[in-house]
Amino acid sequence: MIRQEKATDDVIIMGDWNAVVGEGREDGVVGDFGLGTRNERGQMLVDFCKRLNMIVTNTWFKHEKRRRYTWMMPGDIGRYQLDYILVKHRYRNSVKNSRAYPGADANTDHNLVAAKIELILKVIQRRDGVKR
pLDDT of residue 26: 85
Task: Give per-residue pLDDT as tens, 59-84.
Answer: 999 999 888 888 988 888 889 899 99
| Distance of alpha carbon 82 from the chain centroid | 11
The mean-pLDDT minimum among 33-47, 72-86, 100-114 falls in 100-114
Residue among 51, 95, 121 nearest 43 (CA): 51
Question: Number of C-alpha atoms within 13 angstroms, CB side, residue 49?
Answer: 30
Q: What is the 3-state secondary structure (H, E, C) of the chain?
A: CHHHCCCCCCCEEEEECCCCCCCCCECCCECCCCCCCCCHHHHHHHHHHHHHCEEEHHHCCCCCHHHCCCEECCCCCCEECCEEEEEEHHHHHHEEEEEEECCCCCCCCECEEEEEECCCCCCCCCCCCCCC
What is the tens place of the pLDDT at every residue in 1-23? 677 778 778 889 999 999 999 88
- CATH number of this structure's domain 2-117, picked from the four choices 3.60.10.10, 3.40.50.10800, 1.10.150.120, 3.10.450.630: 3.60.10.10
Q: Which amino acid would we find at residue 16?
A: D
In this predicted structure, what is the pLDDT of residue 129?
A: 67
What's the chain's average pLDDT? 88
The confidence score (pLDDT) of residue 87 equals 94
Task: Give the global pTM.
Answer: 0.83
The whole-number pLDDT of residue 54 equals: 93
